[in-house]
Chain A
Amino acid sequence: MAHRIEVVQKIPDTRAQVRKRELDANGFSEKVDNVELVDVYTFEADLEEGDLERVIDMLANPVFQEGRINDSFQPKFDYAVEIGFLPGVTDNVGNTVREGVSDLLKRKLNGQTAYSSQLMFLSGSLTREDAQIIGESLANPLIQRIQVRGYDEFAANGGMGVNVPRVRISEKPGAGLVDLLNVSEDELVAIGKQGIVNADGTRRGPLALDLTYMKTIRGYFESQGRNPTDMELESIAQTWSEHCKHTIFADPIDEFTEGLYKQFIKRATKVVRTTKGDRDFCVSVFSDNAGAIDFDENHLITDKVETHNSPSALDPFGGAITGIVGVNRDAIGFGLGSKPVVNRYGFCFADPEDERPLYKGANKTQRMLSPRRIMDGVIAGVNSGGNQSGIPSPQGFIYFDERFKGKPLVFVGTLGLIPRESAGRVSHEKEARPGDYVVMVGGRVGKDGIHGATFSSEAIDSGSPATAVQIGDPITQKKLSDAILKEARDRELYTSITDNGAGGLSCSVPEMAKESGGCYVDLNKVPLKYPGLQPWEIWVSESQERMTLSVPKEKWNELSGLMQRRGVEATVIGEFTDSGKCVVDYDGRKVMDVEMNFLHEGLPKRPIKTTFTRQRHEEPDFSELENLTGTMHSMLRRKNIASFEFISQQYDHEVQGGSVLKPLQGRGRVNGDATIVRPVLGSNKGIVISQGLNPSYSDIDTYNMAAAAIDTAIRNAVAVGANLDRIALLDNFCWCSSTEPERLGQLKRAVQACYDAAVAYGTPFISGKDSMFNDFKGFDENGNPVKISVPPTLLVSSIAVMDDVRKAVSLDAKIPGDFVYVLGENSEELGGSEYFAMMGEQLRGQRFIGNNVPDVRLAENRILYEKFFQALDQELIASSQSIHRGGLGIALAKIAMGGRLGMEVSLGELRDVEMRDDFALYSESQGRLVVTVNPDYASEFESVVKGGSVARIGVIRADDRFIIDGRRGKVVVETSINDMLNSYKSTFRSY
């Protein structure tokens, strides 16, 4: 029978107090007087009275809590709202409780057994509808259930009742064979777009296969003389998805028959490596789950950045946590296993204050989550995933644009550390051998994430599958990761490893089978979370926290024993072969028998034609203000510039003990653009990481957008101490409408910029990932059809090895009297700038774009960055800040605010500048840095950096006055550091 245990606090619960404040902020301050919270655990197991007493003792700490069994806590309240998970949704707390009870009672408990939920008592003058609205503001209907009861109903029923969200699957028979040989082209299109027809006539959800692909598949099965099974079709769809095969980057495009990736990205890396010769530091590029570069004599550093956009739009918390723990597995799945040592993140959201609803369905149905909900959920998801995994997350950014309202962009990355050798093996190589067992380790398989890979290859619309939502379980993964990286790897217990991510087993097993030449899997052996899954679902499910290993038969006992002792499930599900085929059995019949060659290489090329038109925009026409002090404060408050300390502070950035340059720098705690970590304890060698992203420049020219992203990612790293000669790059393209020639033309230009910049700077790309359909098709607040596409966005992530971290330079001004210099050429380049956006919003309610988008002067910048490194390496620089969003003005402000020291500078000292003071302050010309220098070192510094554009423009003050003199000698900005910090930190203070 089922039991309900409730745990309540005997002392004020700070979670309830914070919840009350949140409700106040959401307009319930008049209606809700008090909030109380109860943690609820529901058990579906035969537990005796004595057992239950012991379970209570385990769950409730008598110092501050009390527990109740099947007897509801009943304070004075008006409405009770309980939120729990829907059946089948990962319930991490429930799993821990099941394990704990089993351990306590020394009795194995099968199945889910324990479920967690939270009960909230609300008192005040609210209605049932208010209580329902509050519940809905806290729960996500895709993963959670809400139950509301008024006091009387609650009392009459003795509480909320016992709810067991057990999975009950009414088994629909599988489709078996899918007729492709005898159907019309229209039906082929329908199968590709909406999925295979179930027995009841409904369709299963997108395969994302277009007619060209469907015809190729039909051709293959014609040659086999049979129709495919549903599983074969699902499996091919996974493998051929844009998400997995990156067809847009691989297909011939206009004059480039090799495709964008080979022509520009891969070739750039090849050219750079050849040019570097024996200074080449790349070890493994583009071939594994991550890229790898030299770190020191004994180690490599791996790096990978992923996106998890579509899932995060539907379930922000689940999408984001799955994203971060998923990219951790890209490190663990690199070579023989790389230990995650640093996380990065980057979030692009719509304005969190935008409350206009958006709907997936017509007639105002299927309401999307608000930008604020998405933002809060994504931030919390990466918090849980990163913090619980014990991986520092120092490096990140947030960026806002209304066009991220349909789909946010959620970038997550992980750097790993891997020894060059593991038990005498070269650790960045791996090979599954015929005869090795196919072993699945980690979590079990459920319906989670079915069609995730094909779903992210499509726009979100009313047909998007709810089962695409998953929730990560960092602790299951941590146990798995520890067992592999601390023990199994160096005991040679497996020959190859990869992640089960997109496409689940259907992608990981055939991928590894390339190494051996084939595979055989028996799906009946795959451990399931609950019964009732169809074979194709087991095969493509994206249930999290799983890796696939190839284990030599003679090592199986040792591996199995080790995993058992570490509380990690490991199961032999098949064998790697050299049959040239991927063969899968279920219930003794063959459900898949496809040639490896067709599976991996059979997809036809689809030549792409593009067009490109450089956009012309109205040139903003507004006059310059005499006094720019207010403008400075307004700029500091811009969401794209303001402090996001609330995120930096909730993400552990010091775990693993290697933190050197933290996300918040100086006495003013200003967000820096780059961070530094020492991944090897006791060594002063470090890694510098940074990022660059400029979607607003895409409105003018994607070439400039991409070049600026690269220049920014590099310049930010250079500013803190990276040597240009040691920087590597990662690319993440997040595009939209990637079937439209104009969008593809924008893509082509951006990729060309990547080649030009990477080669000019000598910075190779080592890994990348793209997400090509960031579009939303639905209905606006009035129920009118709307399509929202993200601006073409390239995130560039930089990574550099730094020989001695003790030379790192932070952004904060250090000592009064230090000189302030601007390095690099200042031009009037405000097209797509934050300043134009702000002025447009202020003057006409819509941002200005303009036309003079920053050009990146690659050759000049390269010389500057090389000289800059010399100066920094000679320890001549006291502080430095790269100039990017918000221009020189914001860079100066950050240095002064960081040090909580005043500053006085004169724009007249910028000798190359012939522009208005506001333009001089907020132009976003690339290739520039601001530094402060000890006057004693001034002449030495000037002689090291001479030749380029260098201007000494002012001095750090001992007081807290921040003064900028304009070109004509008049003071144009005068304010205090405290006031500036207030503006800078006010925007997200309540977040």
Chain B
Amino acid sequence: MIKPNVLVLTGYGVNCDEETKFAFERVGAKGELVHVNDLIDGHRKLSDYQILVFPGGFSYGDDTGAGNALANRIRNHLWGEVRNFVESDKLAIGICNGFQVMVNLGLLPAIDGNYGARQVALVHNDSARYIDRWVDLEFENHSVWTNGLGRASFPIAHGEGKLYTAPEVLRVIKEKGLVSARYVNGDICQAELLPANPNGSLEDIAAISDESGRIFGLMPHPERAIEFTQHPHWTLLKEQYRRSGKEVPSEGQGIQIFKNGVNYFS
């Protein structure tokens, strides 16, 4: 199997870089944290990598809108390389703040392959407040990244995760099958009596992809759900497994996303 080179972008307040790199390495990729300035000044070359990751965090402190300032820096200096990257047979994923960067850059949903045009936005949550909780998700199978996920639960942690777009864009996104995951009322919500949609996102959309399915962004954090002990109810599940004589698992459902990325190159 080929070990894909994974570029995990960092700098300016990105902060989920190390655990995201770790998740990719756990499933066999070769990960590297690369500061955005090292791409700008040529210390590193985007074309040397197969997977581009925009991790979560607080780039530029969310000033002028989450993801906007980092997207501008990339657009000002790296747009050509990024465009070449997404147009070739490679993968890109944006998680949380990384997803916000991608929509601001116009990498998603890039309807009609129109990379660079801003078509959707991630705006302030309905509560207008940052929230960290777990959500239940129903994944679609249209993207490379979502194979075999189906129903899964991941945490979210964001203040601006409400997906908004004009009605005509939404219609196209749905028609073309670019909705990759929706918030649903599943195990976590039922157990904890929480609303399914944590932020008021349009039609409960949590993740989208481009038309090729290679370019993908989501608000929830799969890298925070790769271990059994990251699950909010693992202590309860452990008791249930033990008493029914079953083995207690060690992995979490989020690992599947990273496996999907790496398997694309096998």
Does chain B have a CB within 8 A of A787? no
Q: Which residue of A lies closest to B190 (CB)?
A: A667
Q: Assess the A810–B19 pair: CB atoms within 8 A.
A: no
Instruction: Indicate if the CB atoms of A388 and B58 lie closer than 8 Å.
Output: yes
Partner of A812, one of B73, B236, B242: B236
Residues from chain A with Cβ under 8 Å of B73 in the complex:
100, 103
Contacts of B19 in A (CB 8 A): 655-658, 681
* Bound complex: CA A323 to CA B185 (Å): 39
Q: Which of A89-97, A138-146, A498-506 contacts B (4 or more CB under 8 A)?
A: A89-97
Chain A: number of interface residues, binned into ranges:
35 or more
**Complex: A383 Cα to B76 Cα, angstroms:** 31
State the CA gap A512–B133 with chains docked (Å).
43
Q: Is A14 in contact with B235, judged by CB distance below 8 angstroms?
A: no
By the criterion CB–CB under 8 Å, are A474 and B11 in contact?
no
Find chain A residues with CB under 8 A from B176 CB: none
A404 to chain B, nearest CB (A): 24
Shortest Cβ distance from residue B90 to the other chain A in the assembled complex, whole angstroms: 25
User: Across the interface, do A61 and B121 meet the contact criterion of CB distance under 8 Å?
Assistant: yes
B37 in contact (CB, < 8 A): yes
B256 proximal to A (CB < 8 A): no
Closest to A390 in B: B15
A595 part of interface (Cβ distance < 8 Å): no
A809 within 8 A of B: yes
The contact of B132 among A59, A390, A650, by CB within 8 Å, is A650
Q: Is B164 an interface position by the 8 A CB rule?
A: yes
B interface residue count range (under 10 / 10 to 19 / 20 to 34 / 35 or more): 35 or more
Give the shortest distance, in Å, between B59 (CB) and chain A (any CB): 8
Q: A93 near B155 (CB under 8 angstroms)? A: no
Which among B57, B64, B229 is the interface contact of A805 at CB below 8 angstroms? Answer: B229
The reply to whether B125 and A14 contact each other, CB–CB distance below 8 Å, is yes
Q: Give min CB distance, A543 to chain B, whole Å.
A: 17
B46 within 8 A of A: no
**Judging by beta carbons under 8 Å apart, are B230 and A387 in contact?**
no
- Report if A390-B58 is in contact (Cβ < 8 Å); known contacts: A17-B128, A650-B129, A814-B235: yes
The residue from B22, B38, B64, B76 contacting A103, defined by CB atoms under 8 A apart: B76
Partner of A649, one of B18, B56, B68, B133: B133
Report the bound CA distance from A390 to B61 in whole Å: 11
Task: Please judge, given known A-B contacts A92-B63, A565-B35, A878-B239, whether A669 and B164 are in contact too, CB under 8 Å.
Answer: no
User: Which residues in A have their C-beta under 8 angstroms from that of B37?
Assistant: 565-567
A478-B22 contact, Cβ under 8 Å, with A64-B121, A806-B229: no
Determine if A815 and B69 form an interchain contact, defined as CB atoms under 8 angstroms apart: no
- Report the minimum CB–CB distance from B97 to chain A (whole Å): 10
Main secondary structure of the interface of B (DSSP, over half): mixed
A14 and B128 in contact, given A657-B223, A809-B235, A815-B240 (Cβ under 8 angstroms): yes
A92 lies within 8 A of B235 (CB): no
List CB contacts (< 8 Å) of B63-102 with chain A. Answer: 63-65, 68-69, 72-73, 76-77
**Min C-beta distance of B230 to chain A, whole Å:** 6
* Complex CA–CA separation, A664 to B233 (angstroms): 10
Note all chain A residues with C-beta closer than 8 A to B118.
61-63
A contact residues around B233 at 8 Å (CB):
666-667
The reply on B130 being an interface residue by CB < 8 A is yes
Is the CB of B150 closer than 8 A to any CB of chain A?
no
- The verdict on A682 contacting B22 (CB below 8 Å), with A63-B119, A654-B155 known, is yes
Could you tell me which residues of chain A, from 75 to 105, have a CB within 8 Å of some CB in chain B? 92-93, 95-97, 99-100, 103-104
Taking the complex as formed, is A781 at the interface, i.e. its CB lies under 8 A from any CB of chain B? no
Which B residues lie within 8 Å of A810 (CB)? 235-236
Check B16–A475 contact: CB distance below 8 A: no
Q: Assess whether B224 is interfacial by the CB under 8 Å rule.
A: yes
Contacts of B129 in A (CB 8 A): 18, 650
Q: Which A residues, 878 to 932, have Cβ-Cβ distances below 8 Å to chain B? A: 878-879, 899-900
B65 nearest CB across to chain A (Å): 6
B146 located at the interface, meaning its Cβ lies under 8 Å from any Cβ of chain A in the complex: no
Cα A814 to Cα B41 with chains together (Å): 55
Interface string of B157-187 (1 = CB under 8 A from A): 1000010111000000000000000000000
B64 touches A93 (CB 8 A): yes
Asked whether B123 lies within 8 Å of A103 as measured between CB atoms, the reply is no
**A805 contacts which chain B residues (CB < 8 A)?**
229
**Complex contact B239–A96 (CB within 8 A):** no
Partner of B128, one of A18, A388, A681, A814: A18
Let me know if A11 and B123 touch, CB within 8 A. Answer: yes
Q: For chain A, residues 1 to 48, give those with C-beta under 8 angstroms from any C-beta of chain B.
A: 9, 11, 13-15, 17-18, 39
B219 to chain A, nearest CB (A): 13
CB of A477 to closest CB in B, whole Å: 10
* A678 CB-CB contact with B under 8 Å: yes
A681 CA / B229 CA spacing, docked (Å): 12
B191 within 8 A of A: yes
- For residue A726, CB closer than 8 A to chain B, the reply is no
* B232: nearest chain-A partner, CB-CB: A662
A878 surroundings in chain B (CB, below 8 A): 239
The docked-state distance in angstroms from the alpha carbon of A669 to that of B60 is 32
* Residue B114 at the chain A interface, CB threshold 8 Å: no
CB of B221 within 8 Å of the partner chain:
yes
Query: Which residues of the partner chain B approach A567 to less than 8 Å between Cβ atoms?
Result: 11-12, 37
Question: How distant is the Cα of A475 from the Cα of B242 in the complex, in angstroms?
Answer: 45
Residues from chain B with a CB closer than 8 A to the CB of A650 are 129-132
B162 with A14: CB separation less than 8 A: yes
Contacts of B68 in A (CB 8 A): 58-59, 61
User: B33: which of A486, A667, A678, A684 is its contact (CB, 8 Å)?
Assistant: A486
* B47 contacts A by Cβ under 8 Å: no
A767 within 8 A of B: no
The answer to whether the Cβ of A389 comes within 8 Å of any Cβ in the partner chain is yes
B28 within 8 A of A: no
Contact A389 B236 (CB under 8 A): no
Chain A residues with Cβ below 8 Å from B223 are 657
CA separation between A678 and B227, bound complex, in Å?
11
CB pair B104–A61 under 8 Å, yes or no, is: yes
Q: Is A437's CB within 8 Å of the partner chain B? A: no
Judge whether A475 and B130 touch: CB under 8 Å: no
Contacts of A106 in B (CB 8 A): 76
Contact A92 B61 (CB under 8 A): yes
Q: Which residues of A contact B33 (CB under 8 A)?
A: 486
Question: B15, A478: Cβ atoms under 8 Å?
Answer: yes
Contact A96 B133 (CB under 8 A): no
Q: Are A390 and B16 in contact, with the CB atoms below 8 A?
A: yes
CA distance A900 to B191 in the complex (A): 9
B13 at the interface (CB under 8 A from A): yes
Whether the pair B164, A63 counts as a contact (CB closer than 8 A) is: yes
Assess whether A100 is in contact with B164, with CB atoms less than 8 Å apart: no
Q: A14-B123, A667-B233 are in contact. Are A654 and B58 (CB under 8 A)?
A: no
Query: If A650-B131, A654-B157, A660-B229 touch, does A814 touch B236 (CB 8 Å cutoff)?
Result: yes
Indicate whether A934 reaches chain B with its CB closer than 8 angstroms. Answer: yes
| Residues of chain B with a CB closer than 8 A to A875's CB | 242
A97 touches B132 (CB 8 A): no
Shortest B179–chain A CB gap in Å is: 17
Q: How far is the CB of B92 from chain A (nearest CB, A)?
A: 20
**In the complex, are the beta carbons of B239 and A654 less than 8 A apart?**
no
Min CB distance B12 to A, Å, is 7
The verdict on B203 contacting chain A, using a C-beta distance below 8 Å, is: no
Report yes or no: B41 in contact with A565, Cβ–Cβ below 8 A.
Answer: yes
Question: Residues of B contacting A97 with CB < 8 Å?
Answer: 63-64
In the assembled complex, the Cα of A681 lies from the Cα of B230 at a distance in Å of 12
Known: A667-B191, A681-B19. A63 touches B165 (CB 8 A): yes
Q: Are A482 and B11 CB-contacts (below 8 A) given A475-B58, A655-B16?
A: yes
Q: How far is the CB of B11 from chain A (nearest CB, A)?
A: 7
Q: Is A652 located at the chain interface by the 8 A CB criterion?
A: yes
Question: How far does the Cβ of A936 sit from chain B's closest Cβ, in whole Å?
Answer: 8
Decide if B164 touches A11 in the complex (CB within 8 Å): yes
| Cα distance A814–B132 in the bound complex, in angstroms | 24
| CB-based nearest B residue for A473 | B61
Q: CA–CA, A810 to B229, complex, Å?
A: 12
A914 to B242, CA, bound (A): 39
7 CB contacts below 8 A, A to B, read A14-B200, A18-B129, A479-B11, A654-B132, A654-B230, A667-B233, A814-B235
